[in-house]
Structure 1
Amino acid sequence: MKTYNVKAGEITREWHVIDAKGKVLGQVATEAARLLMGKHKPIFCRHLDTGDGVIVVNAAQVDFSGKKGTDKLYYRHSGYPGGFRKASLNEMMAKKPTFAIERAIRGMLPRNRLGAAMITKLRVYAGAEHPHLGQVSAAKEA
């Protein structure tokens, strides 16, 4: 029996909604990355984007394990002298609640053009409401 290779035209996409309320950040990120890559499908192959779209709601109410709120730091540099900045996870959640989930999911995707295509199917919202009801009505909520 020969190995089946899926063609790009045979890929069907669905949308999944993940509610992050009360869940640990890493668990939400791994589930979203798995769905974005398409690893939950029997037609998964590494060289094609077989994944589905993911909508993460209640990103502001995600939990962290341990002391990550104060100990985990995000770094950036403007490129100018003295342009080094750092912020803790709690500070980032206060400023932009969707940043931590987006960054965690992006870190779990491939670092190439395929990963860039996968991340475009991700939508993260701080609250419980999202404007994608048309896409989700046909799909089941995860």
Structure 2
Amino acid sequence: MAKLTIVFGILLIILGVIGYVYTGSAHPTALIPAGAGILFIIFGVFATSDNAKKRMLWMHVSVTVALLLFLSLIRADIDVIRLSRGVSFPYPAAVIEKSATSLLSLLYVLFCVRSFIAARRQRTLNPGA
């Protein structure tokens, strides 16, 4: 899961850079997903620890931050639907970028929850391991 966290961070950085370039490098706030991506890369690096407790800690921190990111941007998902139906927004690129960040965060959370459930099942099947 640490590798997935690093990949997720890289995807957020790419999204932020693309958004920044797409807006003509005029809106530095388009780089906000890139800042979050750097955090996730740091979380992923810390989660590569051999210590299981540290690994669990950093993975839980990363999934919590991703969940908060998703919840804070969920309105952008609704705005993208409105955008597709013809509603005008002052900065449509920002709406699309926020929605993409939200959906990427949701996917990451779902993958993490699936992994946490599998790890829990594995521990209950092999209590000595």
TM-score greater than 0.5 by the shorter chain? no
TM-score, normalised with respect to structure 1 = 0.27
More strand by share: 1
For CA contacts below 8 A with separation 6 or more, give which structure has more relative contact order: 1
